[in-house]
C-alpha cells in the first residue's frame, strides 16, 4: 500500500500542521564540513539566542547531538543533556530532544535525568536514541563495540526499559542487555504517558525498531522517492505491529530570494569542503548501514558531495526560493512526513528568514490543500 494513495492517512495529516525542528549546534564547525564562512557558533550564548529565535519563528523542537570525539570536524562537542537544560531555561515553549547513546548511558540513569528535566521545565523534554556508527569513538572512551544489528537490539531494549520505568511502578524487565527488578521511579515525567522517543537510522534494523517501539523516526536526507519508500515500509510494518510512528526528515535548508543565489551558496559550500574531514567521516560511516546484513542504510550510497552535510541534508533539496521550498515541504507532508529537521549555514539569521518568509507560505499551502479536501 502506498500512503500517498491512502485517503484516511492524508486526511489525518492534513489537519495537523507540519512541525519544524532544528539541529542544535552543540558541536563546533556548524552542520557542513566546509571552510565556507559559517556565522554559527557552538557556544552557549549563541545557542540560547538561537533557541529563543527559533521558538519565536515557529520551530517546535531543538535536536542536540551526542559526540564524545571529533567525527566530521566537530573538534569540540558539548554534552547534550547538560546543554539542553540551558536551552530549556532560556525558552518557554520549545521542546528539546536530547540525544543519548546506549552504552555510555544506562536506561535507569537516563530515565531519571529526563524525568527530572521534564518536571523542572514544564514537560518539554524528548529523547533521541542513537544507535551509533563511530567505532573509533567507542574505542576512545573504552566502550565495547557491538555489531550493527546488535546495537539496534540493545537500543530497542533501552527504549522498552525507558517506557517501562516512565509508565509503571514496580517495573520488572529481563532483557539480554538490561535487567530491572521492581523498580519505581519517583517522580515520573510530567508528560503523559511519557516524553516522546525519537530515533534515527535507515537500515532494516533501524526501520524495524521504529515500527515496534519509537514514537518518531528520523531519516537522513533523501529524495522524495527515497523518503516515500522508507515511510511506506515503516508505516506498513508499524500497522502490522499495532504501532504508530511519526516521521521526521532531515534537510539542510538554503532559502534565498532567488534560486540562483541559493544554488550558488550550495556550490560554494561544496567547493570549500574540507576533503580530509569529509573523507575521514566517509571512512568511519562504513560501520553504519553498510555494515548491516542487507548492506543498506545511512550513508551506504552517499557521495563525497552528500557527505559535506553529514546527514545527507542536501539530498532533500530544500534549496531555492521561499516559494519552492514551501511547495516541497508540503509535498513531503503529502507523502506522510510529519516534521522537517532543519540545519542552516548561518543559523540565527536563517531561522528568522525561514520563520518570516517560508513558514507563512507553508501554512497557507496547508490550508489550501485542506480546504480542497472538504
Ligand atoms: C536525525 C539523526 C540524528 C542523529 N544523531 C546522532 C547523534 O547525535 N550522534 C550519533 O552518534 N549518531 C547520530 N545519528 C546516527 C544514528 O543513530 C545511526 O547510528 C545512523 O543513522 C546509522 O544508522 P543505520 O546503520 O541504521 O543506517 C543520528 C541520525 C539521524 C538520522
Which spans in the chain are helix H? 7-15, 44-56, 80-90, 107-120, 135-140, 148-167, 204-212, 224-241, 259-271, 275-284, 304-307, 322-334, 347-353, 359-373
Task: Give the CATH number of the domain where residue 49 resides.
Answer: 3.20.20.30
pLDDT in tens, 226-281: 999 999 999 999 999 999 999 999 999 999 999 999 999 999 999 999 898 898 88
| Ligand 1 in reach of 311 Cβ (< 6 A) | yes
For residue 220, what are the contacts with CB-CB under 8 A and spacing of at least 6? 200, 202, 250, 298, 299, 311, 312, 313, 315
Measured by CA distance, the residue closest to atom 11 of ligand 1 is 132
Q: Which of 2, 4, 21 is nearest to 248 (CA)?
A: 21
pLDDT attached to residue 325: 98
Task: State whether residue 201 is helix, strand or coil.
Answer: coil
Mean residue pLDDT of the chain comes to: 93
Q: Answer whether residue 1 shows pLDDT above 80.
A: no
Is-above-0.85 flag for pTM? Answer: yes
Q: Are strands 171-174 and 179-183 parallel, antiparallel or unpaired?
A: antiparallel
DSSP character string of 73-99? S---B--HHHHHHHHHHH-SS-EEEEE
pLDDT in tens, 294-348: 777 677 778 888 999 989 999 999 999 999 999 999 999 999 999 999 999 999 9
The single-letter DSSP state of residue 181 is: E
Contact (Cβ atoms closer than 8 angstroms) between residue 250 and residue 316? yes
Looking at the 3D structure of the chain, how many domains does it have? 1
Q: Which three cell numbers stand for residue 359?
A: 513558514
For residue 77, what are the contacts with CB-CB under 8 A and spacing of at least 6? 26, 27, 28, 65, 67, 68, 69, 70
| Ligand 1 in reach of 155 Cβ (< 6 A) | no
Query: How many Å lie between the centroid of ligand 1 and the Cα of residue 18?
Result: 22
What φ, ψ does residue 352 adopt, rounded to 5°?
A: -70, -45
Atom of ligand 1 nearest to the CA of 129: 17
Query: How many Å lie between the centroid of ligand 1 and the Cα of residue 65?
Result: 9
Q: How confident is the model at residue 71 (pLDDT cuts 50, 70, 90)?
A: confident
| Ligand 1 in reach of 277 Cβ (< 6 A) | no
Q: Which three cell numbers stand for residue 114?
A: 529526563
Q: Identify the domain containing residue 74 by its residue range.
A: 3-373
pLDDT in tens, 185-202: 999 999 999 999 999 998
Amino acid at each position: 500500500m502506498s500512503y500517498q494513495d491512502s485517503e484516511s492517512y492524508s486526511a489525518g495529516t492534513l489537519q495537523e500542521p507540519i512541525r519544524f525542528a532544528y539541529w542544535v549546534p552543540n558541536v563546533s564547525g556548524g552542520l557542513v564540513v566546509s571552510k565556507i564562512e559559517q556565522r554559527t557558533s557552538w557556544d552557549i550564548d549563541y545557542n540560547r539566542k538561537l533557541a529563543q529565535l527559533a521558538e519565536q519563528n515557529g520551530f517546535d523542537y531543538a535536536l542536540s547531538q551526542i559526540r564524545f570525539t571529533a567525527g566530521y570536524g566537530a573538534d569540540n562537542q558539548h554534552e547534550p543533556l547538560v546543554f539542553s537544560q540551558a536551552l530549556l531555561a532560556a525558552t518557554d515553549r520549545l521542546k528539546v530532544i536530547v540525544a543519548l547513546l546506549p552504552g555510555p548511558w544506562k536506561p535507569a540513569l537516563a530515565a531519571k535525568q529526563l524525568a527530572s528535566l521534564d518536571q523542572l521545565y514544564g514537560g518539554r523534554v524528548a529523547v533521541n536514541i542513537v544507535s551509533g556508527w563511530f567505532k573509533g569513538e567507542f574505542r576512545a572512551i573504552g566502550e565495547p563495540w557491538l555489531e550493527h544489528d546488535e546495537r539496534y537490539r540493545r537500543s530497542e531494549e533501552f527504549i522498552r526499559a525507558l517506557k517501562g520505568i516512565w509508565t509503571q511502578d514496580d517495573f520488572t524487565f529481563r532483557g539480554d542487555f538490561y535487567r530491572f527488578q521492581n523498580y519505581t521511579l519517583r517522580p515520573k515525567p510530567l508528560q503523559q504517558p511519557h516524553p516522546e522517543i525519537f530515533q534515527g537510522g535507515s537500515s532494516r534494523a533501524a526501520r524495524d525498531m521504529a515500527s515496534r517501539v519509537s514514537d518518531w523516526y528520523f531519516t537522513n536526507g533523501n529524495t522524495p522517492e527515497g523518503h516515500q519508500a522508507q515511510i511506506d515500509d515503516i508505516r506498513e510494518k508499524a500497522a502490522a505491529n499495532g504501532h504508530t510512528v511519526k516521521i521526521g526528515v532531515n534537510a539542510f535548508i538554503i532559502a534565498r530570494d532567488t534560486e540562483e543565489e541559493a544554488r550558488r551558496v550550495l556550490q560554494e559550500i561544496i567547493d570549500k569542503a574540507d576533503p580530509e574531514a569529509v573523507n575521514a567521516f566517509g571512512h568511519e560511516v562504513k560501520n553504519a548501514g553498510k555494515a548491516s546484513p542487507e548492506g543498506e542504510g545511512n550513508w551506504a550510497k552517499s557521495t563525497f558531495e552528500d557527505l559535506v552535510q553529514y546527514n545527507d541534508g542536501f539530498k532533500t533539496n530544500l534549496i531555492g526560493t521561499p516559494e519552492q521550498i514551501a511547495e516541497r515541504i508540503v509535498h513531503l507532508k503529502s507523502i506522510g512526513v510529519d516534521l522537517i529537521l532543519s540545519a542552516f549555514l548561518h543559523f540565527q539569521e536563517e531561522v528568522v528568514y525561514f520563520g518570516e518568509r517560508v513558514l507563512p507560505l507553508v501554512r497557507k499551502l496547508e490550508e489550501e490543500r485542506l480546504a480542497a479536501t472538504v
